[in-house]
């Protein structure tokens, strides 16, 4: 874009392992690593890695600065049937949808990220976990457990 030449430097690579000279450290780190559940592309680990690798100035800002994943129970006959079908996997192309069992409980307890059009949210959504960048507690674990 005209006007940005010499003002912005885009650094391509794994931000957890990038090395730059002190005078080249970043003022701003922009990330799109959120994924569909706010952390499933290792966003917290990557952004913490960028911070600890030394590519960010101590005064650097991160975009996004923080993000929270929310969770809510839903009721859906269609989603139930689709999850139930995951309890089987064909061992051969001729077996069809009812192949070898892989576990009904496993299929029903697996978290699925879906865009549902035929479900009813039964309760309000609740925050599950939040991550902030730069990390206010460097070296802390990026836990992903919550009780709702």
Q: For residue 71, give the nearest of 119, 121, 32 by alpha carbon.
A: 121
32 flagged as catalytic: yes
51 flagged as catalytic: no
Which of 1, 5, 22, 32 is catalytic? The answer is 32
Q: How many CB atoms are located within 10 Å of the residue 140 CB?
A: 10
Helix (H) or strand (E) holding 79: helix 77-85
Q: What is the DSSP string of 36-65?
A: SSSSTT-HHHHHHHHHHHT-EEEEEEEES-
Which of 21, 41, 45, 82 is catalytic? The answer is 41
CA angle 34, 39, 43 (to 5 degrees): 65
The CA–CA distances, whole Å, from 131 to 8, 23, 87 equal 27, 28, 33
Catalytic residue ranges: 32, 41
């Amino acid at each position: 874009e005209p006007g940005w030449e010499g003002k912005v430097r885009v650094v391509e690579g794994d931000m957890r392992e990038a090395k730059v000279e002190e005078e080249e450290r970043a003022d701003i780190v922009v990330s799109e690593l959120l994924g569909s559940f706010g952390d499933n592309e290792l966003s917290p680990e990557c952004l913490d890695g960028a911070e600890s690798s030394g590519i960010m100035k101590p005064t650097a800002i991160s975009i996004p600065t923080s993000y929270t994943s929310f969770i809510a129970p839903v009721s859906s006959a269609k989603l139930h049937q689709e999850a139930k079908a995951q309890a089987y996997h064909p061992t051969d192309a001729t077996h069809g949808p009812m192949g070898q069992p892989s576990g009904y409980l496993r299929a029903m307890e697996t978290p699925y990220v879906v865009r549902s059009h035929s479900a009813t949210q039964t309760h309000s959504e609740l925050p599950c976990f939040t991550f902030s960048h730069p990390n206010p507690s460097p070296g802390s674990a990026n836990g992903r457990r919550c009780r709702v």
